[in-house]
Amino acid sequence: MPAPDSSASLTEAPARLRRIALAGNPNVGKTTVFNLLTGLRQKVANYPGVTVERKSGRLVGAEPAEVIDLPGTYSLNPKSLDEQIAYDMLVGRIEGERSPDVVVCVADASNLERNLFLVTQVMDLGLPTVVALNMMDAAEAAGLRIDTESLSRALGLPVVPMVAAQGKGLEELRAAVLNLPEPPTPRRWTLMDVVDARVRELTEVLADAAPDLPEAHRFSEVLHALAEDKALEYWETRAPAFKQAVEQARQTLNERNVPYRFAEVMGRYNWLTPLVAQLVTRHKDPSERTWSDKIDAVVTHRVGGPLIFIVTLALIFQAVFTWATPAMDLIEASMMALGTLVRDLLPAGAVTDLLVEGVIAGVGNVLVFLPQILLLFFFLGLMEDTGYMARTAFIMDRVMNKVGLSGGSVVPLLSSFACAIPGIMAARTLDNERDRLITIMVAPLMSCSARLPIYTLFIAAFIPAGVLFGFVGYQGLAMFSMYLMGIVMAFVAAWILKKFVIKGASSYFVMELPPYRMPKIKHVLWRMVERSKIFVMRAGKIIFGLSIVLWFLASYPKVGPSPEFEAQQAAVETQRQVSLDQIAAARGVTAETFMALDPVVAAMQFQEAGAAARLDSLRALYPNQVAGALSVYEVEQQYQAELQQITDAEDGYRIRNSIIGWMGRILEPVMQPLGFDWKISAGIVTAFAAREVIVSTLGILYSVGEVDETSIALRDQLKADRYPDGRPVYTALVAVSLLVFFVFALQCMSTLAIARRETNSWFWPAVMWLYMTGLAYLFSLIVYQGGKALGLG
Amino acid sequence: MTLKDLKPGESGTITGYTETTPPMRLMEMGMLPGAVVEVVRLAPLGDPIDLKVRGYHLSIRKHEAGMIEVQRV
């Protein structure tokens, strides 16, 4: 559908309703209203350049109209990203988006005054507006009776009472929207006189300086520019004359001690407060405690609060890490089976290799995290919808504030334990830009689930299985230390960033504690699926692409068979034949004849099966032949082992000469002080795509075929690997050094890509990568060199 | 006195601000002169504070509470 420009849609009313925008405060049931209006025919995407969700859907019914759910905001004065998007959407300033034809303002009836604040801001934009007065039941329960008809008259807008959770009021809302209400009448609230005079002047300056700006938007633009520097900067290049005029007005007002920044807010509330007092009657004592207050008395209790918080966290982690395991195993097994199937169906060759080792393995790398992500999103959704999320911020703010974060950072950081991507995305709920940036910068230090395979592999292989004090396992303790190290470092990094690096408006904490509500499981599940989809698509694309690239790097250039290995193989074969001939000759027959004798064949089978008793009875009958058979068995065993060694060496030789091997060898001198050889270095290079990839890379390097972190063969190969001089490559100290490296290093393309989108520059992702890699190197160095100095390793 | 000096259970009417530029968000949430605010409780670690203003619960830090002048009611 071609989008006419926004000014046209304002001057001539559209023939048909096309775009309905849903605005409203957070926690007022806006999403429920959205779901009612659209059914579940929704589309979740992102606004261009930012990760603010753009949710839209088709209005249920015959009218072809798009319903757009704007981010929940308390105000349209653009301070946070969400507010910026909501405002820009309403005025049609976002690329590819047109101003809506009608706005539905969802308001919480039980909290009318503050909700109407936003309604008055929307009204000022001159768009046809309908107020959906939701949660009438909650207002009733709180003892409030609202005269909705008088409210409608006072606002000059249609007001539809609703209980969206029960579907009540939907038809009335649809009717009001389809009726396309008249644009609001001129503003009914007033600014204080001295500010009002300035605003009038500035509105005229703006009209001259930016003639393209629709008349209806001028007033709001002037208010924003007057109050907020960010809004003022917008005009720096677009209308310098206006910017200058605003600066001058600010100065004059400052000199006269006029609180112009708050004139707008005061003006709106001064109109609303008496209005609400008049239209709302109470039939209950307002000081009476609601059941929500009673829950809070327990949940935010001095002792009970932190206790409940810790138990909740423990339960969520238990669920994410244990409930997800069967599903993760299933996904891994399915991908493996799919790979085998493809190998069986397609002819062997480079294309099949690419498909199986690159594409299928790449998809598997993404999908395997899905169970954990789904569970995490489910629990986060539950916390959001019940209102508990705000309480976690309330309880934790003191602690977080100490290190330069805010209570609002708790959830993004917790999410980062599953994956930094949803964690970084969750940081957008922070309305202080500085807090948001710091949270993003330290989120990847939390040990995400992609580090688990590495932790598991190296801890299982090199940390003894003993027990401390009778109940604390060394391995469990090591795992816990990995997590703890990340958390402590995140706090330290946040503190340093706040203190020395990221300057900005000093943070404040102003957060609503919404009443507790019964969550709708259907909504929670729906949102879980939608958010996971975004994760899979975004992270998936990158990991998928990189897995293919890595496969190429590990497979090419292909080196031909080396004469050295061929000679070795020939020598081993000759050796075998000579030994067999000797054994047979001693018994007067050729090797072939001897090995075909029934007692010999049987003896070798018994020996292989470890059936000592049957071997003894056979020996009693054919002592000479059995003795010979045992010698043959030994020769064969040795032959197989030597052959395997040559094949492994050959695979190693191929990888060593691949691009990855070359990179590993280039890096080896740099990584040597940390105790890493070229294979680990190569693994670290490949792990840049996604951390867990190091496990499969080491698998390829050690040529043990398909591996995962629990693979015994890989574990044993690691333990058995030796430097040319006979020292083991992996000691416990090297393992610890590597673990520490993975705790700190930012080995994740997807995180960088998300950070790029969220901060809108490559600068912060670059800083993030550098400081985390620096930490990783430094701490591994300290661990390895310190350990060596102490005589460990 | 400021909002910071009120104890849990006490209420006050906002009379003004100690700072010239308190956070805009505070105003938008209705913390304006004339509004009656009740201190409901402190967070488990003593900060932030749970307030009741205009019929809903708002949480702010003691630092912000110190910017708000009140008269006990």
Q: Which domains does chain A have, with CATH numbers?
A: 6-178 (3.40.50.300), 193-282 (1.10.287), 304-449+509-555 (no CATH), 563-651 (no CATH)
Closest to A361 (Cα-Cα) out of A628, A544, A220: A544
What is the distance in angstroms between the Cα of B16 and the nearest Cα belonging to chain A?
A: 11
> What is the pLDDT, as a whole number, of residue A160?
96
Residue A87: pLDDT band (50, 70, 90) is very high
Contacts of A112 in chain B (CB under 8 A): 55
Mutation target among B15, B27, B41 for the A interface, most CBs of A within 10 A: B27
| Best to test chain B binding among A510, A513, A517 (most B CBs inside 10 Å) | A510
Both tokens of A242, joined, read 């206006």
Would you tell me how many other CB atoms lie within 10 Å of the CB of residue A229? 9
Best B18, B31, B59 member to test A by mutation, with max A CBs in 10 Å, is B59
On whether any CB of chain A is under 8 Å from the CB of B70, the answer is no
B49 touches chain A (CB under 8 A): no
Q: Give the span between the Cα atoms of A428 and A577, in whole angstroms.
A: 72
- E-strand spans in A379-508? 467-468, 472-473
Helix (H, G, I), strand (E, B) or coil at B11: strand
In this prediction, residue A524 carries a pLDDT of 87
Please list the residues that pair with A44 across neighbouring strands.
Answer: A55
pLDDT tens digits, B2-39: 999 999 999 999 999 998 788 888 999 999 999 999 99
Please answer yes or no on whether A111 and B55 come within 8 Å at the CB atom: yes
Smallest Cβ distance to A508: which of B23, B32, B40? B23
Count of pairs with CB atoms under 8 A, one residue in A, one in B: 119
Q: Is A394 on the interface with B (CB under 8 A)?
A: yes
- Chain A from 221 to 280: CB within 8 A of any B CB: 227-228, 259, 261-262, 265-266, 269, 273
Question: pLDDT at position A12, please?
Answer: 44
> What confidence tens digit (pLDDT) does each residue in A737-783 have?
999 999 999 988 778 888 887 888 899 999 999 999 999 999 999 99
Coil, strand, or helix at residue A685? helix
Radius of gyration of chain A (CA): 34
pLDDT at A112: 94
Lowest mean pLDDT among A291-305, A418-432, A695-709: A695-709
The total domain count for chain B is 1
Would you state the structure tokens that stand for residue A185, as one six-digit string?
Answer: 């009448």
- Mean pLDDT value across chain A: 85
CB contact under 8 A, A512 and B57: yes
CATH number for B24: 2.30.30.90
* Inter-residue contact A213 to A189 (CB < 8 Å): no
- Among A695, A703, A706, residue whose Cα is nearest residue A720: A703
Cβ contacts of A262 on chain B, cutoff 8 Å = 24, 27, 32
| Closest chain B residue by Cα to residue A25 | B29
Please give the average per-residue pLDDT across A172-191, as a whole number.
87
Q: Among residues of chain A, what percentage have pLDDT more than 70?
A: 92
Residues contacting A600, CB < 8 A, separation 6+:
A594, A625, A626, A628, A629, A632
Mean pLDDT check: name the lowest of A197-206, A288-297, A348-357, A542-551: A542-551
Q: Which residue has the higher pLDDT, A16 or A397?
A: A397
CA angle A359, A360, A366 (to 5 degrees): 95
Q: Does residue A511 belong to the interface with chain B, where contact is any CB pair within 8 Å?
A: yes
In this prediction, residue A543 has a pLDDT band, given cuts at 50, 70 and 90, of low
Q: Which residue of B has its CA nearest to A139?
A: B55
**What pLDDT, on a 0 to 100 scale, did the predictor assign at position B13?**
97
User: How large is the ipTM?
Assistant: 0.96
Residue in this structure with the two tokens 């050094």, named with its chain if needed? A737
Q: Under an 8 A CB cutoff, do A397 and B29 touch? A: no
**Residue B73 is encoded by which pair of tokens?**
């009611």
| Calpha distance A761→A758 (Å, rounded) | 8
Q: pLDDT (tens digit, 9 = 90+) per residue, A385-410?
A: 898 988 999 999 998 888 888 888 98
Query: For A226-281, what is each residue's pLDDT tens digit?
Result: 998 888 999 999 999 999 999 999 999 999 988 888 899 999 999 999 999 999 99
Question: How many residues would you count in chain B?
Answer: 73
Q: List CB contacts of A107: < 8 A, sequence separation 6 or more.
A: A24, A25, A28, A115, A116, A118, A119, A131, A132, A133, A134
pLDDT per residue over A628-651, tens digit each?
A: 888 889 999 899 888 877 877 777
pLDDT value for A732: 84
- Residues A527, A520: Cα–Cα separation, whole Å: 11
Closest residue by Cα to residue A253 from A190, A194, A191, A202: A194
Beta strands in A260-373 (DSSP E): 280-282
d(CA A132, CA A128): 13
- Give the confidence band of A373 by pLDDT, cuts at 50, 70, 90: confident
B57 vs B62: CA distance, rounded Å: 15
Distance from CA of B50 to the nearest CA of A (A): 8
What does the block give as tokens for A666? 């280039």
pLDDT category of residue A343 using cuts at 50, 70 and 90? confident
Predicted local confidence at residue A13, as pLDDT: 44
Coil, strand or helix at A576:
helix
Task: For residue A221, give the nearest of A73, A132, A331, A88 by alpha carbon.
Answer: A88
Task: In whole angstroms, give the CA distance from residue B15 to residue B1.
Answer: 10
User: Does the beta-carbon distance from B58 to A261 stay under 8 Å?
Assistant: no
CA dist A583 and A88 (Å) reads: 90
Is the minimum CB–CB distance between B9 and chain A shorter than 8 Å?
no
**Who wins on pLDDT, A41 or A389?**
A389
pLDDT at A701: 66
Give pLDDT, residue A656.
77
The one-character DSSP state at A557 is S
Distance between CA atoms of residues A626 and A612, nearest Å: 12
pLDDT band at A711 (very low <50, low <70, confident <90, very high): low
Structure tokens at A85: 């998007």
Which chain B residues contact residue A513 at CB under 8 A? 50, 57-59
Backbone angles phi, psi at A673, to 5 degrees: -60, -20
**Quick one: pLDDT at residue A76?**
94
A395–chain B Cβ distance below 8 A for any pair? yes
SS (H, E, C) A60-91: CCCCCCEEEECCCCCCCCCCCHHHHHHHHHHC
Contact criterion met (CB < 8 Å) for B59 and A111: no
Q: Assess whether pLDDT exceeds 80 at residue A133.
A: yes
The residue of chain A nearest to residue B49, with distances taken between CA atoms, is A394
State which H helix or E strand residue A43 sits in: strand A42-46
What are A427's two structure tokens? 């940081």
pLDDT given at position A700: 63
B19 lies within 8 A of chain A by CB:
no
* B30 vs A743: CA distance, rounded Å: 44
Q: Are A714 and A702 in contact (CB under 8 A)?
A: yes
Task: Inform me whether the C-beta atom of residue B73 falls under 8 Å from chain A C-beta atoms.
Answer: no
Q: Scan for tokens 């890379």, then name that residue.
A: A697
A314 by Cβ neighbours in 10 Å (0-12 / 13-18 / 19+) ranks as: exposed
Q: What is the pLDDT of residues A659-682, one digit of tens each?
A: 888 888 899 999 999 999 888 888
- Residue of chain A with shortest Cα separation from B16: A259
- Strand B11-17 relative to strand A510-512, pairing: unpaired
B45 and A CB contact within 8 Å:
yes
Contact A266 B57 (CB under 8 A): no
Asked if A666 is an interface residue toward chain B (Cβ–Cβ < 8 A), one would say no
Q: How much of chain A, in percent, has pLDDT values that exceed 90?
A: 35
What mean pLDDT do residues A723-736 have? 81
Res. A183 pLDDT band, cuts 50 70 90: confident
Chain A stretch 71-100, residues whose beta carbon is closer than 8 A to a beta carbon of chain B: 74-75, 77, 79
Residue of A nearest to B10 (CA): A287
Q: Which of A111, A265, A395 sits opposite B44 (nearest CB)?
A: A395
More confident position, A2 or A143? A143
Chain A residues 604-633 with CB within 8 Å of chain B: none
Contact B32 A228 (CB under 8 A): no
- Counting Cα atoms < 13 Å in the Cβ hemisphere of A645 gives 11
The residue-averaged pLDDT of A131-142 equals 93
Question: Distance from B26 to chain A by nearest Cα, in Å?
Answer: 7
pLDDT band at A288 (very low <50, low <70, confident <90, very high): confident
SS3 state at A15 = coil
> Which one is predicted more confidently, A390 or A792?
A390
Please report the pLDDT score of residue A11 as a whole number.
40
In the numeric block, the tokens 């294979």 are attached to A679
- Asked if A515 has any chain B CB less than 8 Å from its own CB, the reply is yes
Q: Which backbone phi and psi does A785 adopt, to 5 degrees?
A: -70, -40
pLDDT given for residue A16 in this prediction: 59
pLDDT tier at A2 (50, 70, 90 boundaries)?
very low
For chain B, the distance separating the N- and C-terminal CA atoms, rounded to the nearest angstrom, is 12
Please tell me the predicted confidence (pLDDT) of residue A500.
Answer: 84
Q: Is B23 on the interface with A (CB under 8 A)?
A: yes
Q: Which domain, by its residues, includes B55?
A: 3-72
C-alpha distance across the termini of chain A, in Å: 68
